[in-house]
Amino acid sequence: MHVALYERIWMWAAAVLIALFLGAIVVTTAVQAVEPPSHVETVDPAALATHPEFAQPAVTTRPDGSVIVPVVTSMYAFAPDPIQVPAQVAITFRVTSSDVLHGFQIVGTNANAMAVPGYVSQFTITFPQPGEYTIACNEYCGLMHHAMVGKIIVK
C-alpha cells in the first residue's frame, strides 16, 4: 500500500508525540510521584441527617489546636453558617453535599472545593488575620444558586 510522503511524516510525528506524552506520564509518576488524588472518602448523602459528623456540623478543635469544620451544602445554603474559626490556626474543611453538586469557594483566598453528593472534599487553610470571608457556591445548583452564600468569621 502506498502512503504519501507527507502522510508518513505526519503519522510519525503523531506517533512521536504520543510516545512523548506517555513518557511524561511515566516519568512524573515514577520520578516525581505525581499521581491522581488518593484520598477518596465516601458518605451516604441520604443518611447525612444521622451521620455522626455531618448531622449537626459544628466547628471542633482537636487536642493539637487545629480545627476541623464539617460543612454540609444543600440547596441553597451552607451549614454551619456563619462559621467561626480562629486566625493563624490550621483549619481543615470537610465538605459534602446532601443533594446536588455545589461549590465551596472562600472568596479572596485560594480555597475552592467541589461539594459532591456521596463524597467528602477536604482541604486545610490558615487565615493569617481576623476578618470576614464570603463563601460562594460556584457550581450552578438550581434557580436560587446566585443567592447561595455563606460567611466565615475569623477571630
Cα 105 from Cα 102, distance rounded (Å): 10
Q: Is the bond preceding residue 36 a cis peptide, omega within 30 degrees?
A: no
Task: Please report whether residue 113 would count as binding Cu ion according to CB under 5 A.
Answer: no
Judged by CB under 5 A, does residue 152 bind Cu ion? no
Cα distance between the two ends of the chain: 75
The least CB distance from residue 138 to Cu ion, in Å, is 7
x/- mask, Cu ion, residues 35-74, rule CB under 5 A, reads ----------------------------------------
Which one of residues 71, 85, 148, 154 is an interface residue with Cu ion (CB under 5 A)? Answer: 148
Q: How far is the CB of 76 from Cu ion (least distance, A)?
A: 7
Phi, psi at 107, each rounded to 5°: -65, 135
Site for Cu ion in 118-137 (CB under 5 A): 137
Paired sense of beta strands 112-115 and 83-85, if any: unpaired
Of the residues 86, 90, 145, 149, which one makes contact with Cu ion according to CB under 5 A: 145
Radius of gyration over every alpha carbon of the chain, rounded to an integer in angstroms: 22
Residues of this chain that bind Cu ion (CB under 5 A): 137, 141, 145, 148
